[in-house]
Chains A and B, each alone.
Chain A
Amino acid sequence: KNEVEQSPQNLTAQEGEFITINCSYSVGISALHWLQQHPGGGIVSLFMLSSGKKKHGRLIATINIQEKHSSLHITASHPRDSAVYICAPGGADGLTFGKGTHLIIQP
């Protein structure tokens, strides 16, 4: 079973700050997903990556397969980034989910 640790669990920051969310997992995977969930439940897939780094606008995701670690960065954070961010390593048995990071960006 893949054990997934996300940190921090909760994060409150000021608009414009650089945000980092970390995810560690215990079992080798084929890919890792970063998800965003807004109040009300809707989930959006932000990234799916199996190596290196990906960038979409102000969001950057990195993964180190050897160290079993991934990070999600948000540059120039904005109140609309307030949401729960969830990492989900994917292996032969499907996706395993972290507990999520509850992010609040204050104006």
Chain B
Amino acid sequence: KAGVTQTPRYLIKTRGQQVTLSCSPISGHRSVSWYQQTPGQGLQFLFEYFSETQRNKGNFPGRFSGRQFSNSRSEMNVSTLELGDSALYLCASSWTGSQAYEQYFGPGTRLTVT
């Protein structure tokens, strides 16, 4: 069974631009969660989607948004990029939700904002 895939793996953007990251979960998994990892703040929860609905959202500004498609693939978008958005963005999939089911992480997308 294929693991969680994320594209692209690396990305360099300029302040003010927007970016879209993609995550394909393990086949059969209906929940996708997104996380941001920075050296200063560590891992932080961004949002969780289940069956195309956002079920939970972390404490991030509205510039961060996401969606999930009917095939469970998910995208996250960051608009008006800031230098502080440089981070490793990870997605994870599970059967129904992060709290009670094992999470399977993708390799991450490393975003650099210049």
Contacts and interface: CB of A to CB of B under 8 A. Distances in A.
Interface of A: 29-31, 33, 35, 41-45, 48, 50, 86, 88, 90-100
Interface of B: 33, 35, 37, 42-45, 48, 56, 58, 88, 90, 92, 98-105, 107-108, 110
B104 to A, nearest CB: 7
A34 to B, nearest CB: 11
Contact of B43 (A30, A31, A48, A86): A86
Contacts of A93: 45, 56, 58
Contacts of A98: 42
A98 B48 CA distance: 19
B100 to A, nearest CB: 5
A41 B43 contact: no
A98 to B, nearest CB: 8
Given A94-B48, A97-B43, A42 B107 contact: yes
Contact of B105 (A42, A48, A50): A42
A91 B55 CA distance: 12
A103 B89 CA distance: 23
29 contacts: A30-B100, A31-B100, A33-B98, A33-B102, A41-B37, A41-B88, A41-B108, A42-B105, A42-B107, A43-B90, A43-B108, A44-B105, A48-B101, A50-B100, A90-B99, A91-B99, A92-B99, A93-B45, A94-B45, A94-B58, A94-B99, A95-B33, A95-B35, A97-B42, A97-B44, A97-B45, A98-B42, A99-B42, A100-B42
